């Protein structure tokens, strides 16, 4: 960090990261470029039939009232201790809810201990992930710490799914910028359980409406094409200061 001021340009992957560089480290605004990460819009998209078939394959029944999903490394700082406890409490009073876990790590076996309504898939490839996102109703990101920008949130929204996420500036300021896109909670068990109850009360039709809004926003903000164009402009800016002046 002590070298920050010696760099000619800085790339921040979220608005909140950009604010930290400008306001905390006092980097001049003209040297800070916010370029949001992007995902391949062709690899992640809504596919109802794919989701239905994937549910059948992994043993989630057609009458499931709510199917939640979480993906990524199954480690403590990603919030799996609070999701584990919150879902344990939530499923006790909701008999037809399911949680699909895509990823591997120390919490993999713990999730398996919750029984058949928690489906642990392990690590997954891109095509499998597309099926995973289409099989869920809502994606959960319970991270315990602020982070740059989590690709899983963007992948879920690009797949047309609303999201539940910890209330951190990097997420609220760039991803869940509108309440229509999902639900935010404090990173603790009680707050997550409260949010889960709200989600359960909405119903499939309302959640699907939120998903449409998520897809529209993600397709306008989080594409790999948009990210590539932004980096192209940055490289031009490095060579010619004229390109550093954004319209």
pLDDT tens, position by position, 164-210? 999 998 888 888 888 999 999 999 999 999 999 999 999 999 999 99
Calculate the alpha carbon distances from 234 to 43, 100, 152, 217, 229 in Å: 26, 39, 25, 23, 9
Q: How confident is the model at residue 86 (pLDDT cuts 50, 70, 90)?
A: very high
Report for 96-100, 150-154, 219-223: range of highest mean pLDDT:
96-100
Average pLDDT score, the chain:
92
Mean pLDDT of 52-78: 97
Bridge partners (DSSP) of residue 12 are 34
Cα–Cα distance for residue pair 14/34, rounded to 1 Å: 6
Q: How confident is the model at residue 246 (pLDDT cuts 50, 70, 90)?
A: low
pLDDT of residue 189: 98
List of residues 6+ apart from 105 with CB closer than 8 A: 73, 74, 75, 80
pLDDT of residue 239: 82
pLDDT of residue 34: 87
Q: How confident is the model at residue 123 (pLDDT cuts 50, 70, 90)?
A: very high
Above 90 in pLDDT, residue 61? yes
- The reported pTM is 0.90
In the numeric block, the tokens 């094409």 are attached to 225
pLDDT of residue 247: 55
pLDDT of residue 126: 87
Query: Higher pLDDT residue, 230 or 129?
Result: 129
- Domains defined for the chain, CATH in brackets: 4-38+224-244 (no CATH), 48-220 (3.40.50.2000)
Above 60 in pLDDT, residue 119? yes
Above 70 in pLDDT, residue 2? no
Calculate the alpha carbon distances from 14 to 73, 108, 147, 151 in Å: 21, 30, 9, 12
pLDDT of residue 35: 86
Mean pLDDT of 71-81: 96
């Amino acid at each position: 960090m002590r070298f920050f001021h010696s760099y000619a340009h800085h790339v921040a992957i979220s608005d909140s990261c950009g604010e930290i560089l400008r306001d905390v480290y006092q980097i001049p605004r003209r040297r800070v470029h916010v370029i949001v990460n992007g995902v391949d819009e062709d690899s992640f998209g809504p596919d109802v039939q794919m989701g239905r078939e994937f549910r059948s394959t992994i043993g989630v029944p057609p009458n499931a009232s709510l199917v939640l999903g979480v993906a990524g490394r199954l480690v403590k700082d990603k919030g799996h201790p609070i999701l584990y406890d919150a879902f344990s409490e939530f499923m006790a009073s909701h008999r037809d809810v399911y949680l699909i876990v895509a990823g591997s790590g120390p919490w993999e076996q713990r999730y398996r201990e919750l029984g058949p309504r928690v489906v642990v898939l392990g690590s997954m490839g891109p095509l499998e992930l597309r099926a995973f996102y289409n099989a869920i109703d809502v994606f959960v990101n319970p991270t315990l710490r602020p982070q740059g920008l989590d690709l899983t949130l963007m992948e879920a929204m690009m797949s047309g799914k609303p999201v539940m996420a910890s209330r951190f500036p990097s997420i609220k300021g760039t991803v869940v910028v509108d309440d229509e896109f999902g639900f935010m909670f404090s990173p603790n068990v009680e707050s997550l359980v409260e949010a889960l109850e709200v989600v359960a009360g909405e119903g499939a039709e309302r959640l699907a409406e939120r998903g449409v809004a998520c897809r529209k926003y993600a397709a306008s903000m989080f594409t790999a094409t948009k990210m590539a164009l932004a980096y192209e402009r940055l490289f031009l800016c490095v060579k010619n200061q004229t390109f550093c002046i954004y319209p």
